[in-house]
């Protein structure tokens, strides 16, 4: 498989990394002793975790919107025994899906004979995590005596002496001084004298405190997803990784990532390009050049380039006509694109202000902020202007459009340096910068 890249965060910087290498990193973080497990179990883990990571492939139908990159702490991680690499290589590109959506890896060390429904553990329902009666692990249990007083301290509670003690000591009859007359101990009725002899205490004016809690635990873990012990026993009996996944997960299908489609095409991507102003609304002006015309020229160039990569591109206007903001928003919300990009030219009363800047609605709009930064960086470098960066604004189109989008202020028509750059050569360069930034965002080869 070719290098399918996803964005990761390393030292607060977004970098691109091959998905299979990120998969190795994520599996290493589980700290499994791989020598304890059959290769088919490790393959099942690789497929399930790769499935989750495929949601970070921006040029795929599985992509998570506005998901922050996975954090990588070390770029020089390796594994010596090679078993995880073997599991990854032998399942290369294979992902697990539930109703055409990616799944994630959930596992427990030993379910003790039955896994859990997700809502009983996580508090919400995941349809592929349904309770399974496991016939491949044992019901071994562990016992532990816990000091009740230490638990009470952790919970900031106090333990108090009681007149009875649950089902162990009950039906306690006392006189008016509090001395025991009769009581029932574990189902046996007895008088005060028998009580004193049985418990070897000095008197019958007694009260009770639960100091220890005995806990019997069947299995290990929360019982969610794959039972490691059961999966290992399945593998020893000849079951493959798909059998293991299908046993513990409900309704799973499999697919292989298509690297050619992901790396070389924007097929399936819908992009709205919005040439700002138009008609009677001329926008800004420099040396007889109107902003509305510049925006349309650049937008048409962008459309042409994106369509060569099989993207579906819609212009909010393709002629010199007035399109109200409300109509532009209506088009965007009807089309529901992956992105809209509104092309503009800036102006300011100080001629010394030059540069490219982008606007998105809020800091939480991670994808728009990232794309805006890519566009600003590219235009700054290729056209030779100041990178003023991404800002946040409560503009109508940003506020009312229900999908990811950016306003790009390509240059300052009023700027003493930018004003000299308004020519067809630079319009083409700006369009190419926007196009290549979109390709870069989706990790597609321009």
Task: Name the DSSP class of 56.
Answer: G
Task: State how far the alpha carbon of 172 is from the alpha carbons of 81, 195, 200, 240, in Å.
Answer: 64, 11, 18, 60
| pLDDT for the residue numbered 258 | 84
In the structure, what pLDDT confidence band is assigned to residue 68 with cuts at 50, 70 and 90?
A: confident
pLDDT single digits (tens) 339-388 = 999 999 999 999 999 999 999 999 888 899 999 999 999 999 999 999 99
Percentage, residues of the chain above pLDDT 90: 70
Kindly state the helix (H) or strand (E) to which residue 156 belongs, with its residue range: none
Average confidence score pLDDT of the chain: 91
Please state which CATH number belongs to domain 266-441: 3.40.630.40
| pLDDT for the residue numbered 133 | 92
| pLDDT for the residue numbered 141 | 57
Q: What is Dmax (Cα atoms) for the chain?
A: 112
Q: Are strands 387-392 and 312-315 parallel, antiparallel or unpaired?
A: unpaired
Domain layout of the chain by residue ranges: 5-137+219-261, 141-216, 266-441
In the structure, what pLDDT confidence band is assigned to residue 215 with cuts at 50, 70 and 90?
A: low
pLDDT single digits (tens) 221-261 = 788 999 999 999 999 999 999 999 999 999 999 999 987 77
C-alpha 98/C-alpha 121 separation (Å) is: 20
Do residues 127 and 251 lie in contact, with contact meaning Cβ atoms separated by under 8 Å?
yes
| pLDDT for the residue numbered 260 | 79
CA 326 from centroid of its chain's CA atoms: 33
Can you give the three-state secondary structure of 227-267, one letter per residue?
EHHHHHHHHHCCCCHHHHHHHHCCCEEEEECCHHHHHHCCC
pTM reported for the whole predicted model: 0.72
Q: For 190-200, what is the mean pLDDT?
A: 92
Q: Are strands 70-71 and 94-98 parallel, antiparallel or unpaired?
A: unpaired
**Residue in 58, 48, 80, 83 with CA at minimum distance from that of residue 8:** 58
Kindly state the helix (H) or strand (E) to which residue 337 belongs, with its residue range: none
387-390: which pairs have CB atoms within 8 A and are 24 or more residues apart? 387/355, 387/356, 388/355, 388/356, 388/357, 389/357, 389/358, 390/357, 390/358, 390/359, 390/360
């Amino acid at each position: 498989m070719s290098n399918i890249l996803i964005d990761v965060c390393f030292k607060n910087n977004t970098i691109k990394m091959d998905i299979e290498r990120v998969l190795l990193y994520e599996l290493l973080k589980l700290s499994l002793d791989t020598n304890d497990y059959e290769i088919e179990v490790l393959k099942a883990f690789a497929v399930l975790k790769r499935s989750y990571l495929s949601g970070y492939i921006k040029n795929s139908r599985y992509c998570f919107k506005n998901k922050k990159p996975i954090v990588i702490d070390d770029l020089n991680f390796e594994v010596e025994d090679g078993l995880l690499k073997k599991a990854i290589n032998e399942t290369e590109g294979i992902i697990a899906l539930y109703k055409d959506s990616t799944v994630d890896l959930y596992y427990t060390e030993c379910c003790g004979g039955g896994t859990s429904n997700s809502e009983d553990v996580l508090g919400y329902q995941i349809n592929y995590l349904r309770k399974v009666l496991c016939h491949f692990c044992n019901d071994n249990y562990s016992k532990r005596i816990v000091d009740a007083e230490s638990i009470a301290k952790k919970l900031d509670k106090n333990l108090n002496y009681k007149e009875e003690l649950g089902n162990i000591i009950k039906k306690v009859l006392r006189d008016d001084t509090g001395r025991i007359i009769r009581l029932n101990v574990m189902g046996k009725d007895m008088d005060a004298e028998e009580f004193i002899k049985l418990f070897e205490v000095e008197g019958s004016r007694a009260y009770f405190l639960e100091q220890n809690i005995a806990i019997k635990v069947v299995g290990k873990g929360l019982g969610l997803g794959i039972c490691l012990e059961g999966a290992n026993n399945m593998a020893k009996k000849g079951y493959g990784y798909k059998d293991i996944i299908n046993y513990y997960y409900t309704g799973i299908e499999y697919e292989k990532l298509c690297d050619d489609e992901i790396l070389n095409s924007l097929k399936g991507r819908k992009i709205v390009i919005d040439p700002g102003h138009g008609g009677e609304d001329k926008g800004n002006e420099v040396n007889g050049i109107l902003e509305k015309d510049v925006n349309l020229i650049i937008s048409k160039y962008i459309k042409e380039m994106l369509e060569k990569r099989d993207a579906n591109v819609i212009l909010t206007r393709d002629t010199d006509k007035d399109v109200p903001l409300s109509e532009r928003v209506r088009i965007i919300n009807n089309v529901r694109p992956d992105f809209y990009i509104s092309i503009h030219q800036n102006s300011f009363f100080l001629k010394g202000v030059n540069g490219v800047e982008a606007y998105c609605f809020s800091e939480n709009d991670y994808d728009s902020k990232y794309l805006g930064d890519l566009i600003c960086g590219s235009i700054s470098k290729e056209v030779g202007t100041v990178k003023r960066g991404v800002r946040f604004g409560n503009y109508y189109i940003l506020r009312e459009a229900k999908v990811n989008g950016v306003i790009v202020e390509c240059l300052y028509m009023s700027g003493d340096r930018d004003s000299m750059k308004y020519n067809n050569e630079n319009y083409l360069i700006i369009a190419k910068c926007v196009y290549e930034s979109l390709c870069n965002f989706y990790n597609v080869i321009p």
